[in-house]
Structure 1
Amino acid sequence: MTINRGLLTAAAVPLLFLLGACARPGAADEAGSSTPVTESTTADPDSIALRVEYRGGFVPAETIPGRIPRFSVYADGRALSEGPVTAIYPGPALPNLQEIKLSAAQVKELTDGALAAGVKSGGDFGTPNVADTPSTRIVVATAGGEQTVEVMALNEANPDDKSLTAAQHAARKKLTEFLASVDRLFAETASPASKPYQPTRLAVLAQPYQDTGDGAGGATVAWPAAALPGAALNEQLKINCVTVEGTELEAVWKLAGTANARTPWESAGKKWQIIFRPLLPEETGCDSLKRQA
């Protein structure tokens, strides 16, 4: 299985790193209350055990609310990540979100490895001399609460960047190696193989359609669900959002599967540009995306 690793460009390292990090004496103590939360210690299967996501960066502002976390691991072993997408313009309307199932032991390896790699609230990774790049935010659940780090330009910082101390360079390298191992685990040890994620709810982010005159969007498609554009998600960017589920979701999903990212959708006599954002297991509706908007 080939997985597009997006911004995680560091070369994959053997999972031996994870196992060795987990076994390193004192690693857990360094992260404070660091007993990982897995399916054996929590009653909620939708709780996050580990999450990697990107924040900010020089990207079109209207795309930010629709971002999908780079990697999400849940307490019951479900893991979600975006798969490869064909490099064409315009791209498909629906993201290629894939799901695998990890064992309890694999979830524990990941959470232990995150803690050993320095995912500890307040960790010092410095700020490199790099502009317009996203930060990498990593959250790991522990018995004592979440541990979170957010690292600016984790993969883009120059190894000899003088704005970072030797200790900060070392901390960044350690975290990068861990993330490469996360990639490797998802790509090579999935059992069974990945399958397309089927959401129970879909957030529809709508903006007034801007016709660029290139005809790339193709024919206008009649919107089959509740009238667009929905409630305001980001008034400054004129992004609205509506949540669809049940039979409406089935109708939208079928049409979106043959549409592209520039397809104009018509609702109530107006045309709309849409970003489809599958809601994750713990997300309930458009309000769940406001933290990104």
Structure 2
Amino acid sequence: MRPDRPVTVRTLSVVAVVVVLAAGCQSAAAPPSGKAVALRVEQYGGGPLPSGTVTFPEFVLYGDRTLIAADGDAPREYHLTQEEFDRVYGRARSAGLATARTFDVQAPDASVLEVVFGTDTGRSVTRVTAPDPEDSGEAGDVVRAVALDLSSSYERYRPQRVAVVAGASSDPAGPAWPLRPLTEGIPFNAGRCAVYDAAEVRDIRSDTSWTSEGVTYRVRLRPLLPDEPDCASLTHHE
């Protein structure tokens, strides 16, 4: 019988390198495809929001390289090149956003930065309380990594559907709401939320008062993003 071949230090080193490389390849999940969220960045106040308030993310990047960014009442829609996508997505990955983390500080009513990082295997959510780009720690790395800097051309985002969020108002009675009653919407942030085709609300301005079934509401229009099917999707991500 042949004696067992001795295992040398060199052999063990080679095996260790192969194992480390394989583990690294397995941990680096690929970006998602299609209209799955690759990166979503939103900042919201830490205190209670006024009745009927709804927020819009700073930007959302999708697997098909579409990026939609906030810009007042007319969000911008970009179609990134592969190089631009890799730069935006890669900066977020390098900041450790593939792992969910929470950076909390004792700052009552401070704003919160919420970042959703998506891959082809799932997603992670990171939150930074009182985000500060001048912070020299890991929280500051996150804030700087998701600061959007694009100079490429864009077009105005044209949603197919729009959420109308209505909060009860003490304003004088406004004109009669011309669509189905606002009371039929689902409860949302101490108000009601209903979804309409974009064409239905084309002539309705956001932050205006209307009366529906005897109640005066201040309505805010919120374009629905490609991954948002209904009002329930407008809540923050857990």
TM-score range relative to shorter protein: 0.7 to 0.9
Alignment check: 8 A CA contact 1:73 1:79 kept? yes
Q: Flag the structure with higher strand content.
A: 2
Find the residue that maps to 1:53 and give its secondary structure: strand
Counterpart in 2 of 1:36?
30
Higher relative contact order (CA 8 A, sep 6+): 1
2:162 maps to 202
Larger Cα-atom Rg? 2
CA contact (8 A) 2:104 2:129 kept: yes
Flag the 1:231–1:141 CA change in 2: closer, same or farther, 3 A.
Answer: same
| Structure 1 residue 79 corresponds to structure 2 residue 57 | no
TM-score by length of 1: 0.64
What RMSD over aligned residues (CA atoms) do the two structures have, in Å? Answer: 2.9
5+ residue gaps in structure 2? 1-20
After superposition, the C-alpha distances for 1:127-176 in whole angstroms (9 at most, x for unaligned) are 334331122111222234213311111228x85xxxxxxxxx42123223
After superposition, where does 1:97-246 map in structure 2 within 5 Å? 97-123=75-101, 126-155=103-132, 169-180=136-147, 183-185=148-150, 188=151, 190=152, 193-211=153-171, 220-234=174-188, 238-245=190-197
- Determine the C-alpha separation between the residues in 2 that align with 1:76 and 1:144: 16
The answer as to whether partners of 1:264 and 1:271 remain within 8 angstroms in 2 is yes
TM-score, structure 2 normalization: 0.77
Determine the C-alpha separation between the residues in 2 that align with 1:239 and 1:143. Answer: 36
Asked if 1:289 is matched to 2:234, the reply is yes
Give the secondary-structure state (helix, strand or coil) at the position aligned to 1:62. Answer: coil
Are the equivalent residues in 1 in contact too, given 2:176–2:211 (CA < 8 A)?
yes
What SS is found at the alignment partner of 1:58?
A: coil
Question: Number of matched residues?
Answer: 216
Task: Give the Cα–Cα distance (whole angstroms) in 2 for the partners of residues 206 and 126 of structure 1.
Answer: 33
Query: In the alignment, residue 230 of structure 1 is paired with which amino acid?
Result: E
**SS state at 2:27 partner:** coil
- Please state if 1:46 is matched with 2:35: yes
Amino acid at match of 2:193: C
Map of 1:279 onto structure 2? 224
Identity across the alignment (%): 25
For 1:128 and 1:147, locate their aligned partners in 2 and report how far apart those are by CA, in whole Å: 20
Amino acid of the residue matched to residue 151 of structure 1? V
- Relative to structure 1, the CA distance from residue 242 to residue 173 in structure 2 (aligned partners, 3 Å threshold; closer, same or farther) is closer
Structure 1, unpaired ranges of 5+: 1-25, 86-94, 160-168, 214-218
Misfit runs of 4+, over 4 Å: none
SS at match of 2:146: helix
